[in-house]
Amino acid sequence: MNYSEKLDQALVVTQEMLDASENNEWQKVSELEEARQLVFSDMGKITPQTKEELVVSKLEQLISMNQKLSDLAGAEKIACFKQFSKNKNSQKAFSSYYNV
């Protein structure tokens, strides 16, 4: 598989990650990230033999997708923290009520 094909593969996996994250399927995102890291690892072993413009375009797409993934993951992290905080406050209230 050449460099351009590996980039295509990375784009496909990244799109799958983005789709999964938009559906709150974070376990799937994690599994896909492992697969994507293998693709990136393989890319380091291949010398680009394609037109530079094509490679740059694909890398720009990948960067854009990564930014979207990062934004979604950040939003999920905040939502999880808020839920955790809410649950913690509920637990304190429950404990206070029963300890009176």
What's the angle, vertex CA 68, arms to CA 60 and CA 84, rounded to 5?
A: 155
What pTM was estimated for this model as a whole? Answer: 0.66
What's the pLDDT tens digit per position in 17-63?
Answer: 999 999 999 999 999 999 999 998 888 776 656 567 778 888 899 99
d(CA 56, CA 49): 13
Residue 50 DSSP class: S
What's the pLDDT tens digit per position in 54-90?
Answer: 788 888 999 999 999 999 999 988 888 888 877 776 6
Q: Residue 100: is its pLDDT beyond 60?
A: no
Rounded to the nearest integer, the mean pLDDT of the chain is 84
